[in-house]
Amino acid sequence: MTGSRSLMRSLALAAVAVLGASSLSTGTAHAQPLTLLQCQGIETVTYNPGVTFQQRDIDMTIDAQFNSCIDGAGEVTSGSYGNQATVFVGCNELLGGFEGKRTVTWSTGDTSVIEESGSSTAVAGQVITTTTGKVVQGRFQGRSTLHVSTLPQPGLLQCLTTGFTSATGVTTLTIT
């Protein structure tokens, strides 16, 4: 019986040591959670004057609302951003590469400044803009970003006449 008790005691101590080690490593994992944020919403772009085939300076305003965010930390539920720029563009020159900064304001009241670069492609009547970047300031600083916006492609008739003045579509932002 003494040998059996000694064996049971050793097994119990080994189990405590294993459980203790796993709870220590679990505690460490929770101290540095990998936060994943995914937001979906609507983006509206307005152009003044309207974009035609003739290239010219156009004032462009972007307004986006992320109405649905899933945050690994359970804190961010929505967000928004807005940008203004003057671009030299025409209907045939909407696609191409670019770089810029975007500031997203979160439902928590704080912001993320994202430096990003990307390009646009035309697919099946849609202009799909994809950017990748990094959060350089604020909430999620140091994290990588992937941002995709899909807007309707301008119609030929609009490009030939007064130009198109706005487009609205879906936008998705992922931060890892």
Q: Can you give the residue ranges of every domain in the chain?
A: 1-32, 37-175
Q: How many CB atoms lie within 10 A of CB 137?
A: 14
Give the model confidence (pLDDT) of 10-38 as tens digits: 333 333 333 333 333 344 333 445 568 99
The model's pLDDT over 100-137, given as tens digits with 9 standing for 90+, comes to 899 999 999 999 999 999 988 888 888 899 999 999 99
Q: How far apart are CA 176 and CA 169, in angstroms?
A: 24
Q: Is 13 helix (H, G, I), strand (E, B) or coil?
A: helix
Angstrom CA distances, 145 to 43, 60, 114, 133, 140, stand at 17, 23, 8, 5, 10
Write down the pTM of the prediction.
0.75
CATH architecture of 37-175: Beta Barrel (2.40)
Separation between Cα atoms, residue 90 and residue 54, nearest integer Å: 5
- The CA–CA distances, whole Å, from 138 to 19, 131, 164, 174 equal 38, 19, 36, 16
